[in-house]
Every structure is written in structure tokens, then in C-alpha cells.
């Protein structure tokens, strides 16, 4: 066996997602690409905003000497300053460059945070439905996953969190706006959560970190102001990226930011910079650091995503799906008409629709439909979803 | 304590390197930047070759639709094809795109390889003096480091390797051209090594992988042909990057390639693609993948590095240091005139020279001097090295 037991187990576990992906590819061959409506992936079709393209041309024409070299593992000072300045304005807290580490996407940020704080067997709370990679990231660094289930409103109950958090709990990962549900946690909920975590931290004599994974923070609808976890709780780590708001998921550019008042800030940040190095990320890609420095306020059209959301949500309701209206991100998470979400998603394939079963997010009986796709794909998906629901 | 016990121990261990770095920064303030000669770092001052700059301008002006999106975790097919084609020509083996995974630098490649093959407690052989990050990378994935010492010629003895490799050995990491010594292993040595690994593999009933870390493969002197480990041994994984030959270390672009005839190739590669995803690398930076596709034969001036090597080597000998002539890479690894390399390097600081003690590479009594710096820095370093050796 060439791969380790753990790798093999992980590969087998994700192999049904792979099988569905492969089934989808076969479907495209069979029905023709134009008759397959892929709403399974969170890979935005939106191009980066024009400011990004202009900035790239400018820097290509007038490259800065040494810009592709190693820089400190935390990233370029001018980039960290730009991020800190923008976060300060956004959150009303006084971030400095030393509160920021530029990372290889939010995934890199999460891994360096977990690597830094977890002793073997330490527990991390994950809210279901969850982004499935969280489970791997925690396991990468010898942590134990504790799942708290949230149904039907997808907001965790403070009582259940209270029961789940014990002396071995080192952190709680939240993801608002949420993948896959589109839920955005309210200030009221965050306040209650902060109170709970404060109590637990003081009871157990060490901070329970709130790891706020916010790559969708700027994809938020109806003109709402983002209720920011970091404003409610001091022991907060923010992991984020430019993958969604600048539509750059392939470039692996993101950051980790700590609340400027977090306990033992200097040692914690030094630990995370060290982890960035020893995990083999080394530093966030240099050119992308240069580019995002000047693009802190640029973003793709949220209005366009909102239009897609409104159209898709309305259509799903009309057709008869039970679904919450997403307040952010670009996913719908309706109930499947039958409990067996995998069977239903296979059924959908027969109508040319590719979706992800809720089971992939630890939440059977639901499915994820992405709307970061072009309008024709959404329209085709709705037609298929309409046909499929009528069979059950 | 905000960071885990292991992180704290790692940070403390590397803290003396940090202290030296900080001492160097203070020195620059004290003596003035122009009077400090920093030969401590492997961060090339050479700019990327003109072809890179042209390609960047071209792609910035005419971006390909979707080029910044997620692609398969293994990387763009056209990039993997380009790398495979070039490796095939370079090594006379028939590489295909499925033998290549684009990675976040060679560091990313090493981590995904180790993550994939190591069960807890599996052993990996490391040759001393070693690139110190290898120890962290092995530990990241629950492996055990077994060090084989090589002195004074820096080529490991086959007998010692024979003694070190047992049933728990999963791999041997070699690094030719070598950081820090500049040694390039000969075809004769690689042949003997391959024979040993074949015997061990068949005795223990599983392949002992040769992990050939080759980021300096194209920085090789005197017109020599690179003796390629992958041509000698089937169970070889190549980890490499464009950091050195295109002078792009900050961009984190590299690859992992397997010998096309490696055992259980499909499962092994699938495992490594999976590891690329779950370790949070996800994929190598997209734009850099596009750029390196067309730059497989471009490189920085090796002649210029050779000129620096010749000058530096000659001067070190004249001044009285015992040093081997590097056949590749861009480091000198002379003996320190006293056994206490840390003390000597501190002494060097008084003459404005920043070097790295051999202890940092598991090899006390030596020091590393980098010549990927400008000529003035080398000249200033020689003056300081001359003054320092006279004191002992």
C-alpha cells in the first residue's frame, strides 16, 4: 500500500464525492455540455474586478525590484499595513501590521492557526452543516473534532455549545456567511456566543479561541452590515481570503488576523508565523500580496450575486423546495424532498443537474446548490429541479 | 500558554537563528547598511529572467478567461503537460501529466509527499548537514527523523545508510545540488544508493522511497550534466521549484514528479493530490502556473553564479579557509577555524559579516556562506572573513 492508512481512509471517505464528480463528467459527455447544469461547485465564474486587471498590467510593466523574492514569513509589511488599515476601518478596532499574517488562502490561515494552538487530543468545535475540509484541517494537527448540529435554522444553540465545550476545547470554528447554508449570524447570537466563551475560558483557565472563517464576509445581501465576530469577543482569530470578493480562488491569497487585544498576542502571532514556515507554506504568494495591497476596497459585483440569489430562491420556492433565503455567500441549502439526499442528487443527474448532497457537509436530507454560476446554468438547474421534485 | 508545547519547543529551537537575525538587523543600524555584508540567506538578488517579465506583461494584457479560478488540485493540465514534456527530455524517461502535481514550492511538494506516505512513527532518513526544515516537515506528519552524518566529503557512506535503514524506513531525503554544501552526488554514488534501496525495499516488502529534493538542479557548474536520482531508482519522488532557476522564491511555485514507473503510481499520486488539498495548499498559485508553463527552458544566468563561486572560492582559499568547491547551488560551507561555529559566527558579526553557523544544519564546526548576493557583498564578506580568521 503506497499511501498511509489515514490517507487511504480519507481518500475513501471522499471517494463518493469523487464518484459523483466523475458521474457528472460522464453526464457531460452523454448529454452534451450545454445540457448539464453544474451547481455543485463554489468556483465563481465571475472574473476579478477591473481594478485587479489594471493593477496587474501596471505591476507587470513596472515591476518592483526584488518583488518576487522571499519576504518575512508573515508577508510584506506594506501589504500587512494595508490589510490592517482596512480591517481597522471595517471593524472599528485598532489593527496593526503585527496582527496580520498573509497566508496561502483562508485554508492556509486555518491550518497555521490550528497547528499553532493544538496539543494532541485538543478539541475543536465544528458547527454542522460544515465545510468538510475543517475536519481534515483539525486532524492534520492532531486535534479532535466535536460536531454541534444545527437544525432547522442552522444557528447553533448556546445550550448545545455549552454542553460541547469542555476543558480540552481549544477553539470553536464558525463560518458566517456560511458555506453551505448562506446563514449570517446576528450580533445577538454572537453576543451570546462571546459570553459563553468568556465563561468557559475563565472556568478552564485558558482562552477558548473563536476561529472566525470569513472568506464570504463581503458577499452579503440586502445592504446589511456584517455582524463581525471579532467585535464581540477578544480571543478571536479571523481567517479570510480574496478568493471570493476578488474572485481569485486559484491564487491562494488570504490572511490571518488576530483581535489586537487577544491574550499573549506576541507569542501567539510568532507561533503562527513559525507554523506558516514549517508547514511548508513559507509565505503567501509574493505578486498577489503586491496586488491585493492596493485593492482593499475592490470587489466583484455583490449586486449581481444578489440578483442571482433572488431569482434562484424565488424559483426554488415556486417549484416547492423548502429553503432558507441566504443572507450571504452564494449557496442555497434546501431540504431534499426525501431523506436520502444522495439518492435524490443522483436522481437530479438524470435531469442534467449536478448538486452536492448535504451528507457531504455532515447534514443528510439537504443539498447544496451553488449560484456563483452563469444565469443559464441556474435556469437549467431550476428546470431539472422542477422535474425531479415531481417524482417524489 | 497560547501556543502548543510542540510549537513552543520548535520556536525556542529556532530562536537562536532568530536572535542572530535580530543581531544582524541591529548591526545594520549600528554600522550602517553598507558596512554589513549579509551572506546568511538563500534569497537570490538575481531578478527573474527577461522571458518571465515578458510573459507576465503579455498575460496581464490578455488574461485568459477563468485563469484565476480553482483548477484540479493537481494543477492545470497544460502546465503539467509542459513540465512532463520538459522532464522527459531532461531525464530520458516518459513523464506524462499524471506524473506531475503542481505545488506551492518544493516545500509544499515535500509536505504532501510525507503526509501521503507516512504512518505514525515511520522513519525518514535525512543526510547531515541538512536543510533544517526537513526535520519539521517529517515531524508535521508524525514521522521520525533518522540522521545520517556525512563528513568530511559530505557524501553519505552506503554502509552507514545500510545501518540506518530498517523496516520502519519509508523514505530517504536527498538534496543534490546540496544546501548547504554545494555537493552534487555522482552517478556512481546514486547507482550504489539505488542498489541499496532496491535491496532494502525487497527485504522489507515495501518501497523505500527516494525523495529527491532538487530545487537547485539547474544551478550546476562547469558545464556538468546533472546526475539525476530519478534515472537510477524507480521509487523516486522529485520535489522541485522555480524559486532558484527563475528567481521566484516568494511566489511559491514548484512541483512534485514521480518516476513514471513507480509502484502503485495511480494510488500514490491520487494520495498526494488529496494531501495537497487537505493540507490547505489546495493548488499551486494559478497565475504562476500559467507563467511557468511557457518558461520551462528559461533560467537565470548560471554563468553569473559560477563567476561568483569562482571568485568566492578562490578568495576563501587564499585567506585560509578549508572549503570544498561547490559543484552546484549557491553556498559555500567552509570549516570554521574553531570548533565552536556559533562563537565564530558571532565574531564575524563584529566585522560586519552575517553567516549561518553549521549547527543550524546539524553540522557544528562549519558555517554557510551564500553567494546569491551582489558582488560588493561578497567582497565585503571576504574582507571580514580575512580579519576574523587571523584572530584564531
pLDDT of residue A357: 94
What's the structural domain count of chain B?
Answer: 2
**pLDDT tens-digit profile of B284-334?**
999 999 999 999 999 999 999 999 999 999 999 999 999 999 999 999 999
Whole-Å CA distances, A190 to A26, A66, A106: 44, 43, 21
Which three-class secondary structure string do you get for A60-91? HHCCCCCCCCCCCCCCCHHHHHHHHHHHHHHH
On the question of pLDDT at A13 being above 90, the answer is no
A-chain residues near B271 (CB < 8 A):
2-4, 7-8, 11
Q: How much of chain A exceeds pLDDT 90, in percent? A: 91
Q: Check whether residue B44 and residue B178 sit in a common domain.
A: no
Residue A213, in any domain of the structure: yes
Over range A131-157, report the average pLDDT. Answer: 95
What counts of helices (H) and strands (E) characterise chain A? 13, 12
With cell 440578483, the residue in question is: A307
Q: Check whether residue A174 and residue A221 sit in a common domain.
A: yes
Q: Are strands B353-354 and B331-332 parallel, antiparallel or unpaired?
A: unpaired
Q: Check whether residue B213 and residue B82 sit in a common domain.
A: yes
Q: Check whether residue B132 and residue B254 sit in a common domain.
A: yes
Which residues, in sequence order, are bridge partners of residue B174?
B212
Residue A57, in any domain of the structure: no
Rounded CA separation A351/A37 (Å): 9
Binary contact (A280, B67; C-beta < 8 A): no
DSSP, res B126 = E
CATH number, position B366:
3.90.1150.10
B-chain residues near A251 (CB < 8 A):
68, 285-287
Binary contact (A57, B53; C-beta < 8 A): no
With cell 496561502, the residue in question is: A104
Binary contact (B279, A68; C-beta < 8 A): no
Q: Check whether residue B230 and residue B340 sit in a common domain.
A: no
Nearest by Cα to A368 from A148, A203, A181, A235: A181
Q: Check whether residue B94 and residue B231 sit in a common domain.
A: yes
Chain A contacts in chain B segment 104-123 (CB below 8 A): 104-105, 107-108, 110-111, 115-119, 122
Nearest by Cα to B348 from B39, B44, B15: B39
Binary contact (B281, A252; C-beta < 8 A): yes
E-assigned strand segments in chain B: 37-38, 100-103, 123-128, 144-149, 169-174, 209-213, 236-241, 254-258, 331-332, 353-354, 356-357, 367-370
The answer to whether A68 faces chain B, any CB pair under 8 Å, is: yes
B-chain residues near A48 (CB < 8 A):
68
Binary contact (A140, B63; C-beta < 8 A): no
Residues of chain B with pLDDT under 50: none
The grid coordinates of residue B202 equal 525487497
Over range A343-362, report the average pLDDT. Answer: 94
**pLDDT tens-digit profile of A235-283?**
999 999 999 999 999 999 999 999 999 999 999 999 999 999 999 999 9
Rounded CA separation B170/B125 (Å): 8
The answer to whether B49 faces chain A, any CB pair under 8 Å, is: no
- Full domain range(s) for residue A145: 66-293
Single residue among B271, B293, B315 that ends a domain in this structure:
B293
**pLDDT tens-digit profile of B9-60?**
998 887 666 677 777 888 888 888 889 999 998 889 999 999 999 999 999 9
Residue B40, in any domain of the structure: yes
Q: How far does A386 lie from chain B, in Å, by closest CA?
A: 30
Q: Check whether residue A321 and residue A250 sit in a common domain.
A: no
* B70, B250, B265, best to mutate vs chain A, most A CBs in 10 Å: B250
The grid coordinates of residue A173 equal 470554528
Question: Is the distance from CB of B366 to CB of B333 less than 8 angstroms?
Answer: yes
What angle do the packed helices A77-91 and A286-293 form, to 10 degrees?
A: 40
Q: Check whether residue B287 and residue B308 sit in a common domain.
A: no
| pLDDT band at residue A16 using 50, 70 and 90 as cut-offs | low
Residue B132, in any domain of the structure: yes
Q: How far does A210 lie from chain B, in Å, by closest CA?
A: 13
Single residue among B275, B293, B311 that ends a domain in this structure:
B293
Residue A60, in any domain of the structure: no
| pLDDT band at residue A189 using 50, 70 and 90 as cut-offs | very high
Single residue among A293, A312, A327 that ends a domain in this structure:
A293
Give the HSE-up count for residue B342: Cα atoms under 13 Å, Cβ half-sphere: 12
Rounded CA separation B48/B52 (Å): 6
Over range A43-72, report the average pLDDT. Answer: 95
DSSP, res B234 = S
Rounded CA separation A209/A193 (Å): 12
Residue B85, in any domain of the structure: yes
Q: How far does B392 lie from chain A, in Å, by closest CA?
A: 35
Q: Check whether residue A120 and residue A192 sit in a common domain.
A: yes
Q: How far does A136 lie from chain B, in Å, by closest CA?
A: 6
Which residues, in sequence order, are bridge partners of residue A171?
A124, A209
A-chain residues near B75 (CB < 8 A):
none
* B8, B66, B68, B205, best to mutate vs chain A, most A CBs in 10 Å: B68
Which residues, in sequence order, are bridge partners of residue B236?
B210
Q: H helices within B186-285, ranges in order? A: 187-204, 265-278
Pick the residue from chain A with its C-alpha nearest to B118. A4
The grid coordinates of residue A289 equal 500580496
Which residues, in sequence order, are bridge partners of residue B241?
B254
CATH number, position A115:
3.40.640.10
Neighbours of B205 (CB within 10 A): 7
DSSP, res A47 = P
pLDDT of residue A208: 98
Q: What would the DSSP string read from start to end of B286-305?
A: HHHHHHHHT-SS----HHHH
Residue A56, in any domain of the structure: no
Q: Check whether residue A381 and residue A242 sit in a common domain.
A: no
| pLDDT band at residue A76 using 50, 70 and 90 as cut-offs | very high
Q: Check whether residue B310 and residue B352 sit in a common domain.
A: yes
Dihedral sign, Cα of residue B157, residue B162, residue B168, residue B171: positive
Residue B58, in any domain of the structure: no
What does pTM read for this prediction? 0.97
Residue in A2, A8, A249 nearest the CB of B70:
A249
Pick the residue from chain B with its C-alpha nearest to A131. B278
Question: Is the distance from CB of A213 to CB of A106 less than 8 angstroms?
Answer: yes
Rounded CA separation B109/B107 (Å): 5
Question: What ipTM was assigned to the predicted interfaces of this complex?
Answer: 0.96
Q: What share of chain B is helix, strand, coil (3-state, %, to 5)?
A: 45, 15, 40
pLDDT of residue B15: 65
Q: Check whether residue B288 and residue B226 sit in a common domain.
A: yes
With cell 424565488, the residue in question is: A314
Amino acid at each position: 500500500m503506497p499511501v498511509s492508512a489515514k490517507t487511504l481512509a480519507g481518500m475513501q471517505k471522499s471517494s463518493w464525492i469523487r464518484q459523483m464528480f466523475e458521474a457528472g463528467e460522464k453526464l457531460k459527455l452523454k448529454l452534451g455540455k450545454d445540457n448539464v447544469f453544474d451547481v455543485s461547485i463554489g468556483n465563481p465564474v465571475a472574473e476579478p474586478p477591473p481594478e485587479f486587471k489594471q493593477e496587474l498590467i501596471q505591476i507587470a510593466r513596472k515591476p518592483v525590484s526584488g518583488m518576487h523574492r522571499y519576504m518575512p514569513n508573515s508577508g510584506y509589511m506594506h501589504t500587512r499595513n494595508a490589510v490592517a488599515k482596512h480591517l481597522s476601518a471595517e471593524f472599528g478596532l485598532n489593527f496593526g501590521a503585527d496582527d496580520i499574517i498573509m497566508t496561502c488562502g483562508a485554508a492556509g490561515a486555518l491550518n497555521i492557526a490550528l497547528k499553532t494552538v493544538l496539543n494532541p487530543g485538543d478539541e475543536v468545535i465544528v458547527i454542522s452543516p460544515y465545510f468538510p475540509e475543517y475536519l481534515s484541517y483539525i486532524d492534520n494537527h492532531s486535534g479532535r473534532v466535536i460536531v454541534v448540529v444545527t437544525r432547522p435554522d442552522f444557528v447553533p444553540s448556546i445550550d448545545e455549545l455549552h454542553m460541547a465545550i469542555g476543558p480540552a476545547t481549544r477553539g470553536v470554528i464558525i463560518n458566517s456567511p456560511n458555506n453551505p447554508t448562506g446563514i449570517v449570524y446576528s450580533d445577538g447570537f454572537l453576543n451570546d456566543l462571546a459570553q459563553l466563551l468568556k465563561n468557559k475560558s475563565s472556568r478552564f483557565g485558558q482562552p477558548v479561541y473563536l476561529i472566525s472563517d470569513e472568506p464570504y464576509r463581503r458577499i452579503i445581501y440586502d445592504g446589511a452590515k456584517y455582524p463581525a465576530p471579532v467585535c464581540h469577543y477578544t480571543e478571536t482569530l479571523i481567517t479570510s481570503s480574496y478568493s471570493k470578493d476578488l474572485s481569485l480562488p486559484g491564487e491562494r491569497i488570504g490572511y490571518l488576523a488576530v483581535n489586537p487585544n487577544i491574550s499573549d498576542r506576541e507569542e501567539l502571532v510568532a507561533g503562527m508565523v513559525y507554523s506558516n514556515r514549517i508547514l511548508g507554506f513559507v509565505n503567501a504568494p509574493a505578486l498577489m500580496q503586491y496586488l491585493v495591497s492596493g485593492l482593499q476596497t475592490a470587489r466583484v459585483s455583490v449586486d449581481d450575486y444578489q440578483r442571482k440569489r433572488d431569482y434562484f430562491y424565488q424559483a426554488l420556492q415556486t417549484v416547492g423546495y423548502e429553503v432558507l433565503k441566504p443572507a450571504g455567500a452564494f449557496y442555497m441549502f434546501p431540504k431534499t424532498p426525501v431523506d436520502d439526499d444522495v439518492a435524490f442528487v443522483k436522481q437530479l443527474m438524470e435531469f442534467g443537474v449536478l448538486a452536492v448532497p448535504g451528507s457531504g457537509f455532515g447534514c443528510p436530507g439537504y443539498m447544496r446548490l451553488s449560484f456563483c454560476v452563469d444565469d443559464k446554468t441556474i435556469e437549467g438547474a431550476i428546470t431539472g429541479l422542477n422535474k425531479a421534485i415531481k417524482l417524489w
